[in-house]
Amino acid sequence: MKTINILLFAFLLVFAVSCDQITGDVQEIPNIDTSSNNVVRKVLLEDFTGYTCGNCPAAHDVIKQLEKTYGELFIPVAIHAGSFAEPYPEHPYDFRTPEGNAYDEFFGNSKAGLPNGMINRKKFSNSYITRHTKWASLVSAELQNQPSLSIKLNVSYNQTTRKIDVSTNLHYLKNSSSQDYLVLLIVEDSIIQYQKDYRLGENQNILDYVHNHVLRGSINSAWGERISSNEITSGNKINFNHSFVIPQSKDWKPSNIHIVAYVYSKSLDYEVLQAESTKLIK
């Protein structure tokens, strides 16, 4: 029995190095005015995950708690990347995207061991990458910051042509640089596929796991488009219109899709200034 326990400990230790076991702290809801006349700061969480990462479902539970706590102020995007997201013959479904791979390569998330994430792409302790035990406290702190701009989305979908039309209205509340970029992502909920969960022991292989907030792609490329070639001043209003046709080869369900928009600044080391999300079909 002692030998078995030693082997089991060694086995768990190996996975702990690359697929971290985590828990989340819970914060009280900050006192934020969410009335229609007030622009509020929203927080983007990019969750790097993988279906063979057995510690990732615990991180997903942290996200669920943050959603319950903050509602529409909290915008998560699940990015499946790295070795834990690679398909296998017995589980061929591929969650990976060119956009997610680009983010993972640039920020180095999967190399740091999953699960982990980025909150508004801000550096904490000189790193973009944050562990899940810190998410709640960092999200709470970010929500206290004054927003730099507002984002309003108007979205329509043609079920026959599978065409998505997005109108994005930006209203700057503070001066900003000429290095701001707008990104529009397609994110899907309720995807039923395989997931490993170490917490379940012998039953750790879940065939009907519900994957939420899954990055499906971008409407205007992984890094988006430059908002203005000139310095942006407070009060500026800038509008964009985009169209995207869902390929027939994709099994995406429009009723489960959200459009996520965010603005980041290269002059601030890719920090996200504001984010917004809306359902494709309301």
Q: What is the DSSP string of 74-120?
A: EEEEEEE-SGGG--BTTB------HHHHHHHHHH-TGGG-BSEEEET
Domain assignment present for residue 73? The answer is yes
Cβ atoms of 25 and 133 within 8 Å: the answer is: yes
Kindly state the average pLDDT of the residues 252-257. 98
Q: What is the tally of structural domains in the chain?
A: 1
Kindly state the average pLDDT of the residues 242-249. 97
Residue type, 118: M
- Chain CA centroid to CA 37, Å: 27
pLDDT at 37 over 70: no
Indicate which CATH number applies to the domain containing 203. 3.40.30.10
Q: Token pair for residue 214? A: 């899954």
pLDDT at 20 over 80: no
Kindly state the average pLDDT of the residues 199-225. 98
Kindly state the average pLDDT of the residues 69-81. 98
User: Which H or E element spans position 221?
Assistant: none
CA distance 223 to 152: 19
State residue 18's pLDDT score: 53
DSSP, collapsed to helix, strand or coil, labels residue 189 as coil
Domain assignment present for residue 60? The answer is yes
The boundaries of the domain holding residue 259 are 18-23+39-147+186-224+253-279
Q: Is residue 155 very low, low, confident or very high in pLDDT (cuts 50, 70, 90)?
A: very high
pLDDT at 178 over 80: yes
State residue 38's pLDDT score: 85
Q: Which residues of 62-86 are buried (b: 16+ CB within 10 A; e: fewer)?
A: bbeebbebbeebbbbbbbbbbebbe
CA 32 → CA 70, 75, 148, distances in Å?
10, 16, 16
Q: Token pair for residue 30? A: 């900050």
Domain assignment present for residue 110? The answer is yes
Domain assignment present for residue 1? The answer is no
Domain assignment present for residue 170? The answer is no
CA distance 212 to 256: 9
Domain assignment present for residue 125? The answer is yes
Domain assignment present for residue 273? The answer is yes
- pTM equals 0.88
Domain assignment present for residue 173? The answer is no
Q: Is 190 exposed, middle or buried (0-12, 13-18, 19+ CB in 10 A)?
A: exposed
